[in-house]
Amino acid sequence: MTEFQARVLQVVRRVPPGRVVSYGGVAALMGQPRAARGVGAALRAVEVDDDLPWWRVINRNGEISISHHSISRRLQRELLEREGVEFGPTGRVDWDRFGWDGR
DNA sequence: ATAATGACTGAAT
DNA sequence: AATTCAGCCATTA
């Protein structure tokens, strides 16, 4: 577990149920606003435990960002909808309604 | 130490 | 509004 990964998890763990945050958002909350890609790399590498709501992290366009050949992609949307997050006709989440700013 | 790889983004088209 | 491009960055080989 790298130092960077630990800081990422620290932020992701604070995202409330029914809300979503972008990779860049997590990066910003860590005080490293340009590390959006690094956040993705960390979530890919880290071993997910029960206390890590990884599914509440999506890309800036409000879309799920896991590559299409991944099983988790379908799962992520299901987990989000289960907590009340709605996807529009284009399969995108509205930031004004479900976005989390860190408070 | 180097290079390749994407769960990224903002600006330009 | 949708696509393209060029930086950015932690991981991994």
pLDDT in tens, chain A (103 residues): 999 999 999 999 999 999 999 999 999 999 999 999 999 999 999 999 999 999 999 999 999 999 888 879 999 999 999 999 999 999 999 999 999 999 9
Q: CA A69 to CA A85: how far, in whole Å?
A: 23
Q: CA A83 to CA A76: how far, in whole Å?
A: 11
Residues in contact with strand C, defined as Cβ under 7 Å from any of its atoms:
A 2, 4-5, 32, 34-38, 41-42, 44-45, 90
- pLDDT of A70: 85
- pLDDT of A71: 79
- pLDDT of A5: 98
What is the DSSP secondary structure assignment for residue A68, as one 8-state letter? T
- pLDDT of A73: 92
Q: How far is the CA of A84 from the C1' of B6 (A)?
A: 29
Nearest-nucleotide field for A40 (CA, C1'): B7
pTM of the model as a whole: 0.96
